[in-house]
Amino acid sequence: MKPVTDRERLIVTIAGLLQGVRHVAVGASSPIPAAASMLLRTREKAAGNAPVRISILGSVKHNFFTNGSVELFDCAAQGRIDAFFLGGGQIDGQGNINLVGVGDYPQSKVRWPGSFGSSFLYFQVPRVILFREEHSPRVLVEKVDFISAPGTSASNVERNGGPHALLTSRALFHFDKDKARFLLKTIHPGQTLDDIREATGFAFDVADDLGATPDPDTGTLKVLRGEVLEELAETYPQFAELMAADLQ
C-alpha cells in the first residue's frame, strides 16, 4: 500500500477531532473537512453507533437544506450543529480570525471575501475547528488586523461555541479556553518544534506529551482511498482527482 500523503494525514486528524459529534456542517469550499466528516460517518456506521449527519453547502447529495445558509444559521442557533470549520486570512493566538483584509479597516490594503456570518457560527457551534493549510507568520499572527469572529468573550456574554483546535500543514494545536491560548499538541512528520516556533507569529504553550501527528492505520487508509474518495468526488471532483493522483 502507498504511504500516507499529507492530505490524508490532515483528513484523518480532523476525523479524530470530530469524534463524538452527531451533526457536522461543512462550508462550500472545504474538501479536506468534508472528507474527514465522511470518514467519521463511515467509522461510526461500521462500529454500529448512531448515524452522523453531514451538511455540505454546495453539495446535492450531502445538503439537506433547501434555503442555503439561512437554514445553516437557524440550525446552529437551535443547537443542532455540533461541529463546524472556519479558516481565515489571519488567525491570532487568542483564536480571533480575520476574513476581511490586511491593514487598517476600511482602508485595507488587501481585501478578502468577508466575514459571512462567521462570528455567529463561532458563538453558536460548540466545536469549531480552525483549519488553514498555510502555516506561516503572515497567516498565524500575533494580533489580527480585523476581528471577523472573536475566539473568546467576556464572562457576561452568553456563548455556546468557540475554537476547539487549530490544524495546519505543520502541526495541531488545541485551544485552552481558560487561558485563551493555543497549546501545541502534535507536530507533523518532517517538522520540529523550532520550525513551528519560527513559522508561528503568536506565542503558544507546548504540551508535556508533545509528539508526532500519528499516521492512519492500513484499515483507515483503505476506507479513505475507497468509499470516502468515491463519495467525495460528487461534491469535489477536482480535489478527488488530486487525491487519486497522489497515489499514482
3-state secondary structure of 72: helix
Return the C-alpha cell found at 11.
Answer: 483528513
Q: How far apart are CA 107 and CA 190, in angstroms?
A: 39
pTM for this entry: 0.95
Cα end-to-end span (Å), the chain: 11
Q: Please state, in angstroms and rounded to a whole number, the distance separating the CA atoms of residues 81 and 74.
A: 10
Of 162, 165, 177, 160, which is closest to residue 79 (Cα–Cα)? Answer: 160
Question: Which amino acid appears at position 118 of this protein?
Answer: S
CA angle, residues 98, 99, 101, in degrees to nearest 5: 85
Distance, CA of 134 to CA of 15 (rounded, Å): 19
Residue 12: half-sphere exposure toward Cβ, Cα within 13 Å: 20
Q: Of 33, 136, 147, 132, give the one whose Cα is nearest residue 99.
A: 147
Q: The C-alpha cell of 68 is what?
A: 442555503
The model's pLDDT over 27-69, given as tens digits with 9 standing for 90+, comes to: 878 999 999 999 999 999 999 999 999 998 877 777 777 776 7
pLDDT in tens, the chain (248 residues): 899 999 999 999 999 999 999 999 998 789 999 999 999 999 999 999 999 999 988 777 777 777 767 888 999 999 999 999 999 999 999 999 999 999 999 889 999 989 989 999 999 999 999 999 999 999 999 999 999 999 999 999 999 999 999 999 999 999 999 999 999 999 999 999 999 999 999 999 999 999 999 999 999 999 999 999 999 998 899 999 999 998 88
Would you say 141 and 92 are in contact if contact means Cβ atoms under 8 Å apart? yes
Q: Are strands 205-212 and 181-187 parallel, antiparallel or unpaired?
A: parallel
C-alpha cell at position 184:
501545541
Query: Rounded to the nearest 5 degrees, what angle is found at the Cα of 122, between the Cα atoms of 119 and 128?
Result: 145
Secondary structure class of 174 (helix, strand, coil): strand
72-95 confidence digits (pLDDT tens): 899 999 999 999 999 999 999 999
